Structure 1
Amino acid sequence: MKPTIALVGRPNVGKSTLFNRLTKSRDALVADQPGLTRDRHYGHGKVGSKPYLVVDTGGFEPVADDGILHEMARQTLQAIDEADAVVFIVDGRTGLTPQDKLIANRLRQLDRPVRLAVNKAEGMVSNLVVAEFFELALGEPWPISGAHGEGVRSLIEDLLAGFEVEVEEEDLDYPKFAIIGRPNVGKSTLVNAILGEERVIAFDQPGTTRDSIYIDFERNARKYTVIDTAGVRKRAKIDEAIEKFSVVKTMQAIEDANVVVLVLDARQDVAEQDAHIAGFALEAGRAMVVAVNKWEGMDLYARDQIKRDIARKLGFLDFARYHYISALEGQGVGDLFASIDAAYKAAMAKLPTPRLTRALQLATEKQQPPRAGLVRPKMKYAHQGGTNPPVVIVHGTALEHIPTSYWRYLEHSFLKMFKLQGTPLRVQFKKGENPYDTKPGEFKPDRKGVMRGEHKPGKEVVKRVRKKTG
């Protein structure tokens, strides 16, 4: 197994910058603002000669006993308990602080390797910048720069020297699903209910989650990845740069997922923003499951009203399965997995060309495409052009005249005939080339080998191809 390295330190010492350096990514949000990272964020380390997992944690406030800082401290302690090694990061430019000493006292009690990294040491004399940190009694301090990469590789190589790592083959055939929705609808609570632990911070405050958190887990011997995302508000209400980046991260998570679980609040009417979020996921072609949360304790009249509201405002999600759940109490959460598996299977389905062509013929026999003047589009055959979502390419003539309504009819026909539940489907048209449709000076062979074209617009010229004889 790969060893896990936890990055620990007080706020704003550069943990997320170092995380991005180690993973060679921009997965963690970075800004000159304390307390930006709140949840544990996992990634695959790519700096060093051995594979490993690295965990970014929120700013560690050991003395916090309530509020969001207390929840962040709990997340950090859980990351330390799970890790095989710890990198304690301090700020070389700020110097040693009382909070650093409190954290060091906790880390000295661990029975696992700890390395003290003095960050932001670029352009400074190494011996001078690390001198005062010997007081923490955590071994020799390592001067590094997470932003510029100085000393990072040497630190990781030293830390991993005591680990024997077996290279495992990566399994890519498993569902990756993102939990999306407006702020404060219960996304993080649902993630914790799925995992059976307080894996992410669930707080009764909109905007608690700022980053997209990827979490691998197994259920019934099947592997999954769940992505907890930040709530997406209306554009007019997004006034902080951090929140704008959070929205971008959410959109990227939707693109990265195979399936999205749209979480709605049963205690509130379906808002325009719910439809916007669902529309973006649909445009991305993602398979979808809808979870109507906070269903507990509602009377029959209120439940009937919210169902009517959903049917009226989210009618374009008729391909998705709906679940009425309580993430807080765990009701109905387990039933989501059957729908997630079905949606993933449908999104990745392989559709044979003969069956697709036969399905196309049945659809056109039932309802012909409408005429466009004297022309009626003719569809000859179909084949698959991609997955996630399934793409069906239809070949024929005069296909540019097919209206949007008939386009949608074909999409629904293919979904129904192949029993694809939970995923949208795309139909693309590709018309055959007309050998008589040429530009001046261009010649194309027809079926009989005659080269047809024109020297001047409106004046056709025919050139016969002479066959060479022995």
Structure 2
Amino acid sequence: MRIAVIGRPNVGKSTLVNRLIGEERVIANDQPGTTRDSILVPFERDGRRFTLIDTAGVRRRARVEDTIERASVAKTLQAIDEAHVVILVLDAHETVAEQDASVLGIALERGRALIIAVNKWDGIADEQREAIRNQLDLRLDFVPFAPVHFISARHGTGVGELVHATVRAYEAAMREMPTRELTRALEHAITMHQPPLVRGRRIKLRYAHQGGRNPPRVVIHGNQTASVPGAYTRYLTNVFRKTFDLFATPVVIEYRTDQNPYDRRTAGKRSGRPRRGRERR
């Protein structure tokens, strides 16, 4: 299992990596930018093998000036591509910045399972914690499936729960979903809430099968699928997420319109490109 630990400089990424592996293998320093290269750290925990990727902090574009800094950012993006699960580390003492949302959006586009770790939580006064939670809900509302863990990497508070969530996210991202069970879930969803009418005809969704993993991809066959509204796609996403416990991972739904053999306009022609719908909310 490959885990990318990402975030801005000096939020405690290297300290978290050291806490996870139980020894100080990565230099942790209060000086921002201590880690310039992505560092691969293999370790075992509870009989399971992990590879942690400690990345350079992603700064605002205006501050990405020198060649080394640009290379560091590129390696962070490469780490996201290579990971199964991405942990975004935030500093509880700072507001959620544009670059936090930006790098999280990149991980979402890559289809990676996402977990948010709010570090240095032990230093936050009780009366401030609710305001921080509200800010997180507001700024990161485009990834509502991503669980938020409040931790102290230095003291270990909440880190055990973070590991369990990471394993669960990996298992969800790599889960196999049999065609029969996917189709049964689709049929149940349609029974509870039918697709809308399009020019007087009901959209028909016939069956579903798995089209990929990391992220889980569900391919749905039917007719008029190009007209399925986004709201209905989000509804189906939530159904599949609940049915198959797709924890902390984006879900991609891909529609394919079946060819009508009695339609002379389409006879002998291949159907058009599949239409994808990735969860946003």
The yes-or-no answer on 1:230 pairing with 2:56 is: yes
- Are residues 383 and 237 of structure 1, via their aligned partners in 2, closer, same or farther at CA, if it must alter by over 3 Å? same
Shift of 1:443: 5.0
Which residue identity is paired with 1:351? M
- What's 2:250 paired with? 424
- d(CA) in 1 for partners of 2:264, 2:83: 43
- d(CA) in 2 for partners of 1:228, 1:298: 25
Among 198, 203, 212, which residue is 2:29 paired with?
Answer: 203
Which residue identity is paired with 1:299? A
Kindly provide the CA deviation profile for residues 143-177 of structure 1, in whole angstroms up to 9, marking residues without a partner as x: xxxxxxxxxxxxxxxxxxxxxxxxxxxxxxxx211
Kindly provide the CA deviation profile for residues 73-112 of structure 1, in whole angstroms up to 9, marking residues without a partner as x: xxxxxxxxxxxxxxxxxxxxxxxxxxxxxxxxxxxxxxxx
SS in 2 for 1:317: coil
- d(CA) in 2 for partners of 1:363, 1:188: 44
- What's 1:247 paired with? 73
- Are residues 433 and 337 of structure 1, via their aligned partners in 2, closer, same or farther at CA, if it must alter by over 3 Å? same
Q: How does 1:246-395 map to 2 (within 5 A)?
A: 246-395=72-221
TM-score under structure 2 length normalisation: 0.91
- d(CA) in 2 for partners of 1:443, 1:287: 41
Among 11, 20, 30, which residue is 1:185 paired with?
Answer: 11
Shift of 1:382: 0.2
- d(CA) in 1 for partners of 2:78, 2:145: 23
Kindly provide the CA deviation profile for residues 19-50 of structure 1, in whole angstroms up to 9, marking residues without a partner as x: xxxxxxxxxxxxxxxxxxxxxxxxxxxxxxxx
SS in 2 for 1:290: strand
**Alignment length (residue pairs):** 268
Which residue identity is paired with 2:7? G
Which residue identity is paired with 1:197? E
Kindly provide the CA deviation profile for residues 122-163 of structure 1, in whole angstroms up to 9, marking residues without a partner as x: xxxxxxxxxxxxxxxxxxxxxxxxxxxxxxxxxxxxxxxxxx
- d(CA) in 1 for partners of 2:6, 2:195: 37
After TM superposition, where is structure 1 displaced by more than 6 Å over at least 4 residues in a row?
none
TM-score under structure 1 length normalisation: 0.55
- d(CA) in 2 for partners of 1:348, 1:378: 29
SS in 1 for 2:121: coil
Indicate the structure whose relative CO is greater, using CA pairs within 8 Å and at least 6 residues apart: 2
Calculate percent identity across the aligned residue pairs.
52
SS in 1 for 2:117: strand
Which residue identity is paired with 1:343? A
The yes-or-no answer on 1:399 pairing with 2:225 is: yes
Bigger Cα Rg = 1
Which residue identity is paired with 2:4? A
Which residue identity is paired with 2:51? T
Which residue identity is paired with 2:106? F
The structure richer in helix per residue is 2
- d(CA) in 2 for partners of 1:183, 1:366: 47
The runs of 5 or more residues in structure 2 that have no matched partner are: 270-281
Which residue identity is paired with 1:390? P
Shift of 1:258: 0.4
Which residue identity is paired with 2:82? D
The runs of 5 or more residues in structure 1 that have no matched partner are: 1-174, 445-470
The yes-or-no answer on 1:215 pairing with 2:54 is: no
Kindly provide the CA deviation profile for residues 231-259 of structure 1, in whole angstroms up to 9, marking residues without a partner as x: 11122221111111111110110010000
- Are residues 252 and 437 of structure 1, via their aligned partners in 2, closer, same or farther at CA, if it must alter by over 3 Å? farther
SS in 2 for 1:335: helix
Kindly provide the CA deviation profile for residues 311-368 of structure 1, in whole angstroms up to 9, marking residues without a partner as x: 1111222222221111112212122111011001100100011110011111112222
Shift of 1:437: 4.6
- Are residues 411 and 437 of structure 1, via their aligned partners in 2, closer, same or farther at CA, if it must alter by over 3 Å? farther
Deviates more, 1:201-210 or 1:257-266: 201-210
Q: How does 1:60-79 map to 2 (within 5 A)?
A: none
- d(CA) in 1 for partners of 2:42, 2:167: 16
Shift of 1:309: 0.6
Shift of 1:297: 2.6
